Each structure stands twice: as structure tokens, then as C-alpha cells.
Amino acid sequence: MDAFFAAIEQRDDPALRGRPVVVGALPGGRGVVATCSYEARAFGLHSAMPINEAHWLCPRAVYVRPRIAHYRGIARQIRTILGNYSPRVEPVSIDEAYLDVSGLEGLIGPPQVIGQRLKAEILAEVGLTASVGIGPNRLVAKLASDFQKPDGLTLVPPERMLGFLGDLPLGVLRGLGSKTLPKLQRLGLRRVADLRALSLEQIQVHLGTRAGISLYQQARGIASDQVGEGAVRQSLSKETTFPEDVSDPRLLQDTLGTLAEEVARSARSEGIAGARVTLKVRFQGFETHTRQQRLPQPSDDARTLLGVAWSLFEGGRLPKKPVRLIGLGISELGPPPPVQGDLFTRGPERGHDSTEDRRLNATLDRINQRFGAGAVRRGSGLRHNF
């Protein structure tokens, strides 16, 4: 999707159309740009840019806070459309997915026709533009989708793949960041074709064995063509950056409670549970600490996740300093454990993964899905006493 969050805001509010729009933190705070409209990108703004730097570059932009629940609802509409075209769809983020259209030529038409129809249906159904890349594997399709943004469609057949890749700047390849890219640029390498002229051994001398193999293969268009292979989620997490450093334990615990609810709700929506809980805490100067604990059994219950995370905060020997960022995540994901009801235990001693709790969580999820995340949440049951 093209500038997904910002495009939704412009669609929903006609007064924002044609204007620079930034979705993310508000100026004066600490956060970053989540995404911005193409009008804002003309001023040099981009995702992950510190919000105050963005405001300095473009003070006349409209700055809005993200409405994640609203964006997710629209993403579900789009994924439904994608699923009507191909049985093999792999979402990789809220606004991006791979489709395998092999064998659909006789049913729908050649890949370019499928791409055109997809774009037209998304525009008609949700009022947003999408950019489509078509190629023989995941790498080429992804790069082609970025090639003519916004509202683009780029087809790269196998016989044109090396020529298409060769003309692209080196920075488009995966694994080339702010530290590794300058190493190659100092060698006079600017385009993918320049990198392709080097042997595997030459690349590994400068970038190491693993990175060298990856870039050697990418430069030659060697990549997986399997859709669905990366669909298994490894972890799920949420975090919050405070406008000002926080020392109040009640505020920190309440924030962790909100994050636990968001993680648990997302886990339940995907039918997964986590066997390991991770707490992330950042202090001034980007000093970051993580603490982890494995659960007796996987859980998708917010109170269970919060209880573990808060015990890690209190007992994890963290610096006694104000907190800039706090986050909670789960990993070692798998299906939720079966519920075995206890005929004799009732109340708080029953635990948080009983049949009654599962039913209540399902009810809360339906309410929040209909009225927006955070419309209703558990009360004091999430809070520990001080």
C-alpha cells in the first residue's frame, strides 16, 4: 500500500488531501514518524525520523496520532480482496503481502492483468492506491513494488531480471545498512551491477561470510519463490515511549498493563500463545535492558503476562533511574494450551487460563474489535498492590 496510514487519514478527511501529512508522534514529544504522505516526503521526511526533526524540516505539515485499530480494520478488508485472487497470500506487515499467482493465468489472466485487477478492486473497495511488483521470486517482486510508487505496477519477467537489478542502487539490497553500505561505496560500488562484478570471496573480505553470501546471491537475483515460508511469527511485542521520563511505579505498571492487553489481544486474534515473556526498559541515552522469563505453559492472558513482566521489572536488578521506554513481548509461540476446568477452585486462586477467563477474553475482544482497541478493559485485576 502507498503511504498506508497517511493515505487513510487523507481519505477520511478531504481537507488533508494534497497536504503534507505525518502520522506518528506529535511535535515536541519524543517519538518518531510512523509514516508520512508523499507531499511530506518531498520535504525529506521519512519513516522512523525523529518527530522534532520532521517538524523542523516541514513545520506546516499536519501531524496526527495513529489510529492503529482503524488501520488494521482496513488492512483486513484488503487481505480479503487478496485472498479472492490467490489461495497463497503471505502478509508481511499491516500494509504489505506476497501473493503466489502461479497457475492462475487460465483462470484470471497473466500476472500483469492480475496486478491491474487487484489495484482497481482495492481502489474501488477501500479508496486507496496500491503498488504492485511482479517477479519470479520474492526479492524481485518486492523491489519491483517499490520501483514506481505511488500507484505503480512493475513487471519483471525472468529474462529481464538481471538488467532490472543491475540498474538499482546498492542500498535497495537487504542487509546493507548505515555501517555496511559505506564499506562498499568506498570501493567505488554504486549499483547492484557493480557488486555483481565482484567474486564471492571479494565480497566476504569486506562484509564477512554470511553477509557476503546473502549479497552475492541478491545481486544475481537468487532468492526464494515460496510464499508462506516466512509467515510463521517468531515473537509479538508492544512498547511505549513516554513524553517525559517516568519514575512513578503506578504509571509504569498501568502502562505495562495496557501493553499486556494489546499483546494478549493480538495473540488471541492469531490463535497463538507465548511461552516466554520479555520485558524491555530504556533509560536516558538509549541505555536499554531486557529481562526474560519462561512460563510453565504458554499463555495469551494479559494478567499472566503483566504479572511476569512486572516481577521482572521489580526483581530484574534494573538501574534505579527514570524510564524513557517500556515494552512487553512474548516469544516461543504456539497454540494456546487446552483448558482443564477445576471443579473445586473458584475466584483469584483459579488462575488466568480457565474456561471462564477464556470466555471473558473472547467477549472483550469482540467489543474492542467493534468499537476500537481500548474501548473496554479489565479493571483492578490487572494491578498489583503497592
Task: Report which of 284, 263, 282, 281 is spatially closest to residue 273, judged by C-alpha positions.
Answer: 263
Helix axis angle, 249-270 to 302-315, nearest 10°:
140
Task: Report which of 295, 278, 377, 364 is spatially closest to residue 336, judged by C-alpha positions.
Answer: 295
List beta partners, residue 36: 22
Catalytic residue among 53, 96, 244, 262: 96
Other C-beta atoms closer than 10 Å to the C-beta of 9 total 23
List beta partners, residue 235: 331
Task: Specify the pairing of strand 132-134 against strand 153-155.
Answer: parallel
Residues 66, 24 contacting (CB under 8 angstroms): yes
Residues 145, 175 contacting (CB under 8 angstroms): no
The answer to whether 96 is a known catalytic residue is yes
Say how far apart CA 337 and CA 5 lie, in whole Å.
Answer: 35
Residues 204, 180 contacting (CB under 8 angstroms): no
Chain-centroid distance, C-alpha 184? 29
Say how far apart CA 273 and CA 299 lie, in whole Å.
Answer: 5
Task: Supply the DSSP symbol for 344.
Answer: S
Say how far apart CA 164 and CA 312 lie, in whole Å.
Answer: 50
Q: List active site positions.
A: 96
